Amino acid sequence: MKIETIAIHAGNQVDAATGAVIEPITLSTTYERGEDGGYPSGYMYTRIGNPNRTSLENVLSKLECGVAASAFSSGNAAGAAVFQALLPGSHVLAPTDMYHGLRNLLNVVYKGILEIDYVDMSDLQEVRNSIKENTKLIWLETPSNPLLKITDIQAITNISKEHQIIVCCDNTFATPIFQNPLKLGADLVMHSTTKYLGGHSDTLGGALISKEKNDFWERILKVQELSGAVLSPFDCYLTVRGIKTLPYRMRGHLENAKQLAAFLESHLQVEEVFYPGFGGMLSFLVKGGEVKAAKVANSTKIFTQATSLGGVESLIEHRATIEGPNTKTPRNLLRLSVGLENIEDLIEDINLAIS
Protein backbone atom coordinates (compact mmCIF):
# COMPACT_ATOMS: atom_id res chain seq x y z
CA MET A 1 0.00 0.00 0.00
CA LYS A 2 1.06 3.57 -0.66
CA ILE A 3 1.58 5.94 2.25
CA GLU A 4 -1.79 7.74 1.87
CA THR A 5 -3.61 4.41 2.14
CA ILE A 6 -1.48 3.27 5.07
CA ALA A 7 -2.20 6.52 6.93
CA ILE A 8 -5.96 6.00 6.60
CA HIS A 9 -6.31 2.26 7.13
CA ALA A 10 -3.38 0.90 9.20
CA GLY A 11 -4.59 2.57 12.39
CA ASN A 12 -8.25 1.66 12.07
CA GLN A 13 -10.46 -1.41 12.09
CA VAL A 14 -14.20 -1.89 11.76
CA ASP A 15 -15.74 -2.61 15.16
CA ALA A 16 -16.85 -6.26 15.19
CA ALA A 17 -19.62 -5.68 17.74
CA THR A 18 -21.42 -2.78 16.05
CA GLY A 19 -20.03 -2.52 12.54
CA ALA A 20 -18.81 1.01 13.29
CA VAL A 21 -16.46 2.08 10.50
CA ILE A 22 -14.30 4.09 12.91
CA GLU A 23 -12.77 2.16 15.80
CA PRO A 24 -14.36 3.19 19.13
CA ILE A 25 -12.44 4.52 22.12
CA THR A 26 -11.85 1.77 24.69
CA LEU A 27 -11.67 3.41 28.10
CA SER A 28 -11.69 0.29 30.27
CA THR A 29 -8.60 -0.01 32.45
CA THR A 30 -8.98 -3.75 32.98
CA TYR A 31 -10.05 -6.78 30.91
CA GLU A 32 -11.84 -10.04 31.71
CA ARG A 33 -9.84 -13.18 32.36
CA GLY A 34 -10.79 -16.51 30.84
CA GLU A 35 -11.52 -19.65 32.83
CA ASP A 36 -7.86 -20.65 32.58
CA GLY A 37 -6.76 -17.30 34.00
CA GLY A 38 -5.57 -16.03 30.65
CA TYR A 39 -6.79 -13.09 28.62
CA PRO A 40 -8.75 -14.12 25.51
CA SER A 41 -8.71 -10.55 24.15
CA GLY A 42 -4.96 -10.24 24.51
CA TYR A 43 -5.39 -7.30 26.91
CA MET A 44 -4.97 -7.36 30.69
CA TYR A 45 -4.49 -3.80 32.00
CA THR A 46 -4.39 -0.54 30.07
CA ARG A 47 -0.91 0.42 31.28
CA ILE A 48 0.32 -2.70 29.49
CA GLY A 49 -1.91 -2.53 26.42
CA ASN A 50 -5.06 -0.98 24.97
CA PRO A 51 -6.84 -1.45 21.60
CA ASN A 52 -6.50 2.23 20.67
CA ARG A 53 -2.81 2.18 21.48
CA THR A 54 -2.37 -0.97 19.41
CA SER A 55 -4.01 0.75 16.44
CA LEU A 56 -1.77 3.81 16.76
CA GLU A 57 1.36 1.70 17.13
CA ASN A 58 0.42 -0.32 14.07
CA VAL A 59 0.07 2.70 11.80
CA LEU A 60 3.25 4.27 13.19
CA SER A 61 5.35 1.17 12.55
CA LYS A 62 4.05 0.92 8.98
CA LEU A 63 4.57 4.62 8.21
CA GLU A 64 8.17 4.46 9.46
CA CYS A 65 8.88 1.04 7.87
CA GLY A 66 9.64 -0.51 11.27
CA VAL A 67 8.70 -3.81 12.87
CA ALA A 68 7.30 -2.41 16.13
CA ALA A 69 6.21 0.85 17.72
CA SER A 70 5.34 2.08 21.18
CA ALA A 71 3.21 5.12 22.02
CA PHE A 72 4.25 7.26 25.00
CA SER A 73 2.65 10.01 27.05
CA SER A 74 4.96 12.63 25.47
CA GLY A 75 7.97 12.97 23.20
CA ASN A 76 10.18 13.52 26.23
CA ALA A 77 8.83 10.32 27.80
CA ALA A 78 9.76 8.44 24.62
CA GLY A 79 13.27 9.87 24.71
CA ALA A 80 13.58 9.09 28.41
CA ALA A 81 12.73 5.44 27.79
CA VAL A 82 15.67 5.18 25.39
CA PHE A 83 18.02 6.82 27.89
CA GLN A 84 16.74 4.62 30.73
CA ALA A 85 17.27 1.49 28.67
CA LEU A 86 21.00 2.26 28.55
CA LEU A 87 23.20 0.89 31.28
CA PRO A 88 24.58 3.43 33.80
CA GLY A 89 27.88 4.85 32.63
CA SER A 90 26.97 4.61 28.96
CA HIS A 91 28.28 7.39 26.73
CA VAL A 92 25.80 9.27 24.53
CA LEU A 93 26.60 11.46 21.54
CA ALA A 94 23.94 14.10 20.90
CA PRO A 95 23.75 17.08 18.51
CA THR A 96 24.99 20.48 19.64
CA ASP A 97 21.62 22.01 18.68
CA MET A 98 19.50 19.27 20.25
CA TYR A 99 15.91 20.14 21.19
CA HIS A 100 16.26 21.89 24.55
CA GLY A 101 13.66 19.71 26.31
CA LEU A 102 15.60 16.50 25.64
CA ARG A 103 18.92 18.24 26.20
CA ASN A 104 17.75 19.39 29.65
CA LEU A 105 16.49 15.86 30.33
CA LEU A 106 19.98 14.51 29.70
CA ASN A 107 21.74 17.29 31.60
CA VAL A 108 19.49 17.25 34.66
CA VAL A 109 17.81 13.85 35.11
CA TYR A 110 20.65 11.71 33.77
CA LYS A 111 23.50 13.75 35.20
CA GLY A 112 25.91 11.34 36.89
CA ILE A 113 24.12 8.36 35.30
CA LEU A 114 24.99 8.79 31.62
CA GLU A 115 28.02 10.45 30.05
CA ILE A 116 27.00 12.95 27.37
CA ASP A 117 28.94 14.83 24.70
CA TYR A 118 27.36 17.25 22.24
CA VAL A 119 28.87 17.28 18.76
CA ASP A 120 28.22 18.81 15.34
CA MET A 121 26.54 15.91 13.58
CA SER A 122 27.28 17.45 10.18
CA ASP A 123 31.01 16.99 10.87
CA LEU A 124 31.59 13.28 10.40
CA GLN A 125 35.18 13.47 11.57
CA GLU A 126 34.10 15.14 14.80
CA VAL A 127 31.58 12.35 15.31
CA ARG A 128 34.29 9.70 14.74
CA ASN A 129 36.70 11.47 17.08
CA SER A 130 34.07 11.70 19.83
CA ILE A 131 33.32 7.97 19.99
CA LYS A 132 34.61 6.23 23.13
CA GLU A 133 34.78 2.63 24.26
CA ASN A 134 31.59 3.14 26.27
CA THR A 135 29.64 5.00 23.54
CA LYS A 136 26.30 3.19 23.29
CA LEU A 137 23.95 5.71 21.64
CA ILE A 138 24.10 8.36 18.94
CA TRP A 139 21.06 10.64 19.06
CA LEU A 140 20.19 12.45 15.84
CA GLU A 141 17.75 15.28 15.22
CA THR A 142 17.30 16.21 11.59
CA PRO A 143 16.14 18.77 10.62
CA SER A 144 17.25 20.27 13.93
CA ASN A 145 15.31 22.61 16.19
CA PRO A 146 15.46 25.58 15.62
CA LEU A 147 18.30 25.97 13.09
CA LEU A 148 16.94 23.33 10.68
CA LYS A 149 20.37 21.73 10.22
CA ILE A 150 20.48 18.53 8.20
CA THR A 151 22.41 15.42 9.26
CA ASP A 152 23.51 12.71 6.83
CA ILE A 153 21.72 9.86 8.58
CA GLN A 154 23.21 7.12 6.43
CA ALA A 155 26.76 8.40 6.93
CA ILE A 156 26.27 8.46 10.72
CA THR A 157 24.77 4.97 10.77
CA ASN A 158 27.67 3.66 8.70
CA ILE A 159 30.00 4.96 11.42
CA SER A 160 27.81 3.55 14.19
CA LYS A 161 27.86 0.06 12.70
CA GLU A 162 31.66 0.00 12.88
CA HIS A 163 31.39 0.40 16.65
CA GLN A 164 28.05 -1.37 17.30
CA ILE A 165 26.42 1.84 18.52
CA ILE A 166 22.65 2.33 18.56
CA VAL A 167 21.32 5.25 16.50
CA CYS A 168 18.02 6.93 17.37
CA CYS A 169 16.71 9.70 15.12
CA ASP A 170 14.18 12.33 16.14
CA ASN A 171 12.00 12.53 13.02
CA THR A 172 9.43 14.98 14.40
CA PHE A 173 10.11 17.81 11.95
CA ALA A 174 10.43 15.74 8.78
CA THR A 175 7.75 13.13 9.54
CA PRO A 176 7.69 9.81 7.63
CA ILE A 177 6.26 11.71 4.66
CA PHE A 178 9.64 13.30 3.90
CA GLN A 179 12.15 11.01 5.64
CA ASN A 180 12.47 7.39 6.80
CA PRO A 181 15.52 7.10 9.09
CA LEU A 182 15.11 3.33 9.53
CA LYS A 183 15.61 2.88 5.78
CA LEU A 184 18.82 4.89 6.11
CA GLY A 185 20.25 2.61 8.80
CA ALA A 186 18.92 4.06 12.07
CA ASP A 187 17.86 1.58 14.75
CA LEU A 188 15.12 3.69 16.31
CA VAL A 189 12.92 6.61 15.31
CA MET A 190 11.44 8.98 17.86
CA HIS A 191 8.48 11.35 17.42
CA SER A 192 6.70 13.94 19.41
CA THR A 193 3.28 12.90 18.11
CA THR A 194 1.99 16.16 19.61
CA LYS A 195 3.31 17.86 16.49
CA TYR A 196 2.62 16.89 12.86
CA LEU A 197 1.34 13.36 13.49
CA GLY A 198 -1.51 14.58 15.71
CA GLY A 199 -1.58 17.70 13.60
CA HIS A 200 -4.19 19.78 15.42
CA SER A 201 -2.52 21.00 18.63
CA ASP A 202 -4.98 19.11 20.81
CA THR A 203 -3.20 15.94 21.89
CA LEU A 204 0.07 15.32 23.73
CA GLY A 205 2.13 12.24 22.93
CA GLY A 206 5.33 10.61 21.79
CA ALA A 207 6.42 7.45 20.03
CA LEU A 208 9.33 5.16 19.30
CA ILE A 209 9.56 2.90 16.27
CA SER A 210 12.14 0.13 16.03
CA LYS A 211 13.84 -1.55 13.09
CA GLU A 212 14.21 -4.79 15.07
CA LYS A 213 12.60 -6.56 18.01
CA ASN A 214 15.88 -7.01 19.86
CA ASP A 215 17.00 -6.96 23.50
CA PHE A 216 17.33 -3.18 23.58
CA TRP A 217 13.78 -2.76 22.27
CA GLU A 218 12.52 -5.15 24.93
CA ARG A 219 14.28 -3.08 27.60
CA ILE A 220 12.56 0.06 26.28
CA LEU A 221 9.17 -1.65 26.45
CA LYS A 222 9.85 -2.82 30.00
CA VAL A 223 10.85 0.71 31.04
CA GLN A 224 7.57 2.00 29.63
CA GLU A 225 5.43 -0.72 31.18
CA LEU A 226 6.91 -0.38 34.65
CA SER A 227 7.11 3.43 34.68
CA GLY A 228 3.65 3.85 33.17
CA ALA A 229 4.53 6.51 30.57
CA VAL A 230 1.73 5.41 28.24
CA LEU A 231 -0.57 7.39 25.98
CA SER A 232 -4.23 7.51 27.02
CA PRO A 233 -6.85 5.81 24.80
CA PHE A 234 -8.42 9.15 23.88
CA ASP A 235 -5.07 10.66 22.87
CA CYS A 236 -4.32 7.53 20.84
CA TYR A 237 -7.67 7.94 19.09
CA LEU A 238 -7.01 11.61 18.31
CA THR A 239 -3.52 10.86 16.98
CA VAL A 240 -4.80 8.07 14.73
CA ARG A 241 -7.43 10.46 13.43
CA GLY A 242 -4.80 13.11 12.77
CA ILE A 243 -2.51 10.69 10.93
CA LYS A 244 -5.24 9.94 8.38
CA THR A 245 -4.70 13.34 6.77
CA LEU A 246 -0.93 13.51 7.42
CA PRO A 247 0.27 13.03 3.80
CA TYR A 248 -2.02 15.74 2.49
CA ARG A 249 -1.38 18.13 5.38
CA MET A 250 2.38 17.81 4.96
CA ARG A 251 2.12 18.74 1.28
CA GLY A 252 0.25 21.88 2.27
CA HIS A 253 2.78 22.74 4.98
CA LEU A 254 5.59 22.20 2.49
CA GLU A 255 4.11 24.41 -0.21
CA ASN A 256 3.35 27.25 2.20
CA ALA A 257 6.77 27.07 3.88
CA LYS A 258 8.60 27.08 0.54
CA GLN A 259 6.79 30.21 -0.60
CA LEU A 260 7.23 31.97 2.73
CA ALA A 261 10.94 31.09 2.85
CA ALA A 262 11.41 32.52 -0.65
CA PHE A 263 9.64 35.72 0.41
CA LEU A 264 11.75 36.10 3.55
CA GLU A 265 15.00 35.49 1.65
CA SER A 266 14.28 38.54 -0.48
CA HIS A 267 13.15 40.76 2.42
CA LEU A 268 15.49 43.65 3.25
CA GLN A 269 14.82 43.33 7.00
CA VAL A 270 15.78 39.64 7.10
CA GLU A 271 19.39 38.69 7.77
CA GLU A 272 19.23 34.95 7.06
CA VAL A 273 16.65 32.20 6.46
CA PHE A 274 16.99 28.59 7.63
CA TYR A 275 14.85 26.23 5.57
CA PRO A 276 15.97 22.77 4.32
CA GLY A 277 13.59 22.69 1.35
CA PHE A 278 11.03 20.31 2.87
CA GLY A 279 8.60 20.32 5.77
CA GLY A 280 6.68 23.13 7.37
CA MET A 281 9.29 24.54 9.77
CA LEU A 282 11.57 27.49 9.10
CA SER A 283 13.55 30.01 11.10
CA PHE A 284 14.94 33.41 10.20
CA LEU A 285 17.17 36.10 11.67
CA VAL A 286 15.70 39.59 11.91
CA LYS A 287 17.91 42.60 11.28
CA GLY A 288 17.93 44.86 14.33
CA GLY A 289 18.67 42.24 16.99
CA GLU A 290 16.55 40.79 19.75
CA VAL A 291 14.43 43.89 20.28
CA LYS A 292 13.30 43.95 16.65
CA ALA A 293 12.72 40.18 16.65
CA ALA A 294 10.51 40.47 19.72
CA LYS A 295 8.58 43.30 18.11
CA VAL A 296 7.91 41.17 15.02
CA ALA A 297 6.71 38.23 17.15
CA ASN A 298 4.37 40.58 19.03
CA SER A 299 2.97 42.18 15.88
CA THR A 300 1.63 39.27 13.82
CA LYS A 301 -2.13 38.80 13.57
CA ILE A 302 -2.46 35.40 11.91
CA PHE A 303 0.70 33.80 13.29
CA THR A 304 0.03 33.10 16.97
CA GLN A 305 2.94 33.59 19.35
CA ALA A 306 3.03 30.20 21.05
CA THR A 307 5.19 27.19 21.82
CA SER A 308 4.92 23.91 19.90
CA LEU A 309 4.45 23.29 16.19
CA GLY A 310 2.90 21.07 13.57
CA GLY A 311 -0.73 22.17 13.84
CA VAL A 312 -2.87 23.51 11.01
CA GLU A 313 -2.54 27.02 12.49
CA SER A 314 0.64 29.06 12.01
CA LEU A 315 2.80 29.81 15.06
CA ILE A 316 5.71 32.18 15.69
CA GLU A 317 8.18 31.98 18.55
CA HIS A 318 11.31 33.72 19.84
CA ARG A 319 13.20 30.53 20.70
CA ALA A 320 16.03 32.05 22.76
CA THR A 321 13.51 33.32 25.32
CA ILE A 322 11.89 29.89 25.60
CA GLU A 323 15.17 28.01 25.86
CA GLY A 324 16.53 30.12 28.71
CA PRO A 325 19.87 31.75 29.61
CA ASN A 326 22.05 28.85 28.38
CA THR A 327 20.58 28.82 24.88
CA LYS A 328 22.85 28.61 21.85
CA THR A 329 20.11 30.02 19.62
CA PRO A 330 20.75 33.49 18.10
CA ARG A 331 18.87 36.18 20.00
CA ASN A 332 17.37 37.59 16.78
CA LEU A 333 16.00 34.25 15.58
CA LEU A 334 12.28 33.63 15.11
CA ARG A 335 10.96 30.14 14.47
CA LEU A 336 7.86 29.65 12.36
CA SER A 337 5.55 26.67 12.23
CA VAL A 338 3.93 27.41 8.89
CA GLY A 339 0.31 26.32 8.91
CA LEU A 340 -2.32 25.66 6.27
CA GLU A 341 -3.85 29.13 5.97
CA ASN A 342 -3.81 30.88 2.60
CA ILE A 343 -0.18 31.67 1.80
CA GLU A 344 -0.98 35.21 0.64
CA ASP A 345 -2.45 35.95 4.06
CA LEU A 346 0.61 34.50 5.80
CA ILE A 347 3.07 36.48 3.69
CA GLU A 348 1.13 39.70 4.24
CA ASP A 349 1.00 39.05 8.00
CA ILE A 350 4.76 38.53 8.28
CA ASN A 351 5.53 41.43 5.95
CA LEU A 352 3.43 43.88 7.98
CA ALA A 353 4.97 42.67 11.24
CA ILE A 354 8.52 43.11 9.96
CA SER A 355 7.85 46.41 8.23
Catalytic residue among 39, 47, 183, 241: 47
Is the bond preceding 143 in cis, omega lying within 30 degrees of 0? yes
Q: How far is CA 63 from CA 8, 150, 169, 173, 327, in A?
A: 11, 21, 15, 15, 33
Please choose, from the candidates 53, 30, 90, the residue with its C-alpha nearest in 3D space to the C-alpha of residue 193: 53
- Residue 254 burial class via C-beta count within 10 angstroms: exposed 0-12, middle 13-18, buried 19 and up: middle
Please choose, from the candidates 53, 61, 2, the residue with its C-alpha nearest in 3D space to the C-alpha of residue 29: 53
- Is 31 a residue of the active site? no
Q: How far is CA 21 from CA 17, 63, 129, 216, 233, in A?
A: 11, 21, 54, 37, 18
What is the C-alpha separation between 241 and 72, in angstroms, rounded? Answer: 17
- Is 99 a residue of the active site? yes
- Nearest 5°: the CA angle 342, 204, 143 is 60
- Is 195 a residue of the active site? yes
Catalytic residue among 53, 103, 195, 335: 195
Q: How far is CA 335 from CA 36, 139, 147, 282, 315, in A?
A: 57, 22, 9, 6, 8
- Is 47 a residue of the active site? yes
Catalytic residue among 170, 187, 235, 349: 170
User: What's the residue count for the chain?
Assistant: 355
Please choose, from the candidates 6, 282, 38, the residue with its C-alpha nearest in 3D space to the C-alpha of residue 146: 282
Please choose, from the candidates 26, 285, 51, 44, the residue with its C-alpha nearest in 3D space to the C-alpha of residue 147: 285
Region of 19 (left: φ > 0; alpha: ψ -120 to 50; beta: rest) is left
Catalytic residue among 43, 99, 118, 237: 99
Please choose, from the candidates 204, 354, 200, 182, the residue with its C-alpha nearest in 3D space to the C-alpha of residue 285: 354
Alpha helices in 120-232 (DSSP H): 124-130, 153-163, 175-178, 215-227
| Active-site residue set | 47, 99, 170, 195
